[in-house]
Amino acid sequence: MKLRKSELETLNSKPETYKIYWQIFFTFFRIGSFTFGGGYAMIPLIQEEVVKNKKWIGEHEFIDMLAMAQSAPGVMAINTAIFIGYKMRGLKGSLIAALGTALPSFIIILLIAMVFTTFRENPTVERIFKGIRPAVVALIAAPLYKMSKSAGMTWKTVIIPIAAVLLIWLAGISPIWVVLAAVLGGISFGTIQAKNLTKTD
């Protein structure tokens, strides 16, 4: 019995579909397996893989996704993985990306919890983590510098992140209010620009 053209296309596309699902899963599984320092330390690895190596999304789109991931509730690394997975293959892609990101941590923490009491005061383990901490700071700082260029950061706009840091650090204002203020400020600025362009035209 001959298959219709649409059925043949569906069958031919299935291996390729499964392949991209495995790529999404193993990409985020690898990132989750070798990241120390939490969600922020994952940023350079995610950027390296999905922007530079895989070219799944562009630099500017990645920065926008980070802004959304940071603003949304939950762990930033998981949120970013969900955004990228959804961009690639919709709901299934987002679930697979989130699973790939979270599974290594779940397995490692489960194993550590099982033997935690035996090595928690081990001086060698303590030295290892003390050595890792400075590297984590560098991992966070390097992509921030690169992303500031891609975001079009200038000497005029650099006052915004500095003001946000000072408000959170010195004034003790919750990051939630800072994010909301930035959202409202961005909307207001965009509205004013649009009106000025309309008047000019």
Residues 9-27 pLDDT 10s: 443 455 566 788 888 999 8
> Between these two residues, 166 and 2, which has the higher pLDDT value?
166
* DSSP-derived 3-state class of residue 170: coil
Separation CA 79–CA 183 (nearest Å): 18
Separation CA 103–CA 145 (nearest Å): 29
What's the pLDDT at 79? 87
Say how many C-beta atoms besides its own lie within 10 A of residue 163's C-beta.
13
What's the pLDDT at 150? 63
Q: Could you tell me if residue 79 is inside a domain? A: yes
Q: Are residues 58 and 113 in the same domain?
A: yes
Say how many C-beta atoms besides its own lie within 10 A of residue 10's C-beta.
12
Say how many C-beta atoms besides its own lie within 10 A of residue 94's C-beta.
19
Q: Are residues 21 and 37 in the same domain?
A: yes
CB neighbour list of residue 33: distance below 8 Å, 6 or more residues apart: 104
| pTM for this predicted structure | 0.59
Domain around 185: 154-201
Q: Are residues 29 and 69 in the same domain?
A: yes
Separation CA 45–CA 42 (nearest Å): 5
CB neighbour list of residue 38: distance below 8 Å, 6 or more residues apart: 77
* Per-residue pLDDT at 148 exceeds 80: no
Q: Could you tell me if residue 40 is inside a domain? A: yes
> Between these two residues, 31 and 72, which has the higher pLDDT value?
31
Span 27-50, mean pLDDT?
79
Separation CA 135–CA 141 (nearest Å): 10
